[in-house]
Each structure stands twice: as C-alpha cells, then as structure tokens.
Structure 1
Amino acid sequence: MEPTSQIELLGLVAYGSLAAFERTAQASAAATSIDDKLVLARIAAQRFTHLGRLETELARRGSTLKAAMEAFVAPIDSFNQHTEPRTWGEVLVKLCIIGGLVQDFADEISGHLDAGLREILTGSIDDGELASEPGQMLARALQEDPEQQGRLALFGRRMLGEALSQAQRVAAARADLTGLLTGLGQDGGDDLAAISHLMSRLAAAHATRMESLGLA
C-alpha cells in the first residue's frame, strides 16, 4: 500500500497543475496579441499534459486524480478567489509569482523525496523553454505603463501572504504530508516549526523574485 503522504503530495501537485492550466488558458484568452495568446496557450497545453502524467502515476499507486485532489480543492480555490487578477498586469504577476513559488517549493522539498517521486514532481512543474515568457510579457507591460508598478508590487505581496496562509492550513491539517515535506516523517519532530522555517525561505526567495521582476 502506498504511503498516504506520497498520494497526498501527488494530489496537491495534480490539483495545482489543473488550476495552473485553467489560469494560463484564461490568460491566453485575455491576451491582446496573437504572439502572447500562442505562448500562453502552449504553456497551458504543457500543464494539461503534466496532469495526464500525474493521473497515470496515481493509478499506478492505486489512487485516482479525483480522490487524491479532493483535499486540496478548498485551499487552492480559496487562494485563487482571494487573488483574482483585475488587470492584464495582475494576470502576468500571478503567472510569474505562482510559477516561481512552485519551483521554489519543489527545490526545498526535493531532497526529502525518493528519486522516483522527485522525478515525478520536477517533471510535473517544468514549463521548459517557455518558463521565462510570462516574465518577459510583464517586463513589456511595465515598460508600456510604468505607473502600474506600485499597484502590481502590492498585488504580488498580497499573493504571497495568501499563499502562505493557505499552506499553513494544509500543513496543520495533513500531518503525514507535512512530515514528508519537512523530511521529519513520523519521528516526532516538530513539523510545524520546520514548515515555518520553510515558509520563511520561500518568502525570502519571493522577495528576490519580486525585485528581479521590477516590483520591489
């Protein structure tokens, strides 16, 4: 029988991938240039492909997408509802920030995973050569309208706060998953303290990314 924590991690990544697909497809629909529409549509297609791979892996482990994702629908949907973009600039900021946070999260926890699970995780979040495109779109948007910089910086900070809030709720409710993510397992270590340190590192990486995006 597969460890609950591994199924939960795959479910978390799977629902995150579904949400990312929806978000990127919506961004493609909102884009005003054909070039941007095509790039974002290709990213969305890749993310849907990732979801298919996760479905196959979950089936191999005796679970299903629906069963594995259900626990993470509420926190991820709540995050998206509280960070709904209102402008094209905010759409791009959200794409950049979420993509960065997911990559930082994967980098932080990969050392606690076995080789097979690590490969599945990294493969499920990889946008390949298209990964830098939303950042380039944001740079162009800021160049065209520099006055939105302050508002977008505030939006980016609000996104981080909401993301960390939802992550803390998941960590408190999912002890097995938290043990896997921190590497402490079930040895009685202080998982929540370890998660707090993880959140601090993610926040520091976010600040660096905001600066690189011109939103410090």
Structure 2
Amino acid sequence: MTESAAILLDIEGTTSSIAFVADELFPYAAKHLADFVASNSETVAPILAQVPGDDPVATLLAWIKDDRKETPLKTLQGLIWAQGYAEGMLKGHVYPDTPEALRRWHAAGLPVYIYSSGSIAAQKLIFGHSIVGDLTPLLSGYFDTTTGPKRDSDSYTKIVDALDMAPSAVLFVSDLPAEVDAAREAGLQALLIDRGGQGGDVHSLAEVLP
C-alpha cells in the first residue's frame, strides 16, 4: 500500500457500533418523528415536499423500518437527533480505537474525512456529542448521500475531485465489501475492516497506519 495523504472513513461498523445506529438512533427518530413534524411545520415543509405519498410521516416511518437511504429521511433524522443530543438524551458511540486513531492521524498531519449514508448534520452530531467528548476538531470534512451512493465508484471519484487529490492518495476504510470494491474501482486505496476478527484487511483502526 502506498503512502496516504488523507483518510476517508465510513461510520457504522467502522468508527461506531452498528447497534448504536440500529438500536438507539433509528428508534429514537421513529419515536419522536410525528411530534417533531407537528411542532416544526415550517422547518420540515421543504423536507416533506420531497417525500412521496399522501401521508409523508407514514412513508418516513416505513423508510426507517426498511433502513432506506433516502436523503429527505436522513435530513429529518438529523434534525430530530440534534434535538436529542442537545437535550442530553443521546451520546454518539465510537469504538475505543476511534479517538486514538483520529488523534494519531491528526498529529501526523493526515486530514480525516467521513463518508456515511447518514446526513452530514447527523455525522457531526455523532462525533460532536460522542461518549468521549467532541471529536470534530480532529475531522476535516464530511460527505453523505448527496454526493452519491456508497456502492457507486463515481461517488468516490466525486469525493477525491472535491478534495483535489489523486485517488491513490486517499485511503478509504469501511466494513462493507461492496463499498471497498467501489472505492478501489475509483482508484482509491481501501481497507475492509472486520471488527469481529473473522476476515477483512484489518480488525480495528489501530491497525490502519501510520
């Protein structure tokens, strides 16, 4: 593997527990969605306009149940979670090796970026209100589904173009083989992380150099 000039990280299963998103964040959004929409009609109006059907709230709840990666859902979830974080009801989970790796890369002068299916706002909340405090000073930028699907190589091309870097200078880390394959197809370096230790290229961010 050649020397990297930047790190690009997935969130679920990479920096943070999949269970945190599935068992805490999604249920929290589902529980509070209807009340949030009713109490913030002006804010959510342009979001609901992007949701098909006669009952957008029902559609959004169905999307949560089906784990759909729809941008209006992700945007609304981010707003609901922001309120939960602000009220101290939510704390973003990160694995113990995540802050250690972020500090190591930061000290080495390596910019670290996030690419997740969750909205940029939701990403900032997880790292800004993490269980170990605010980690956002260690991050240089964020990308979400507005850039494109994570299993589409064109999305990674758009990211390296936005960073004004050669694809081979960026190292992407994810727990999903399809995402790793897409990144490699776009010319990025990529590592498959398997925290269960059964396979993958690495088992924790502690193994990702330098």
Asked if Structure 1 and Structure 2 have the same fold, meaning a TM-score greater than 0.5 normalized by the shorter chain, the answer is: no
The structure richer in helix per residue is: 1
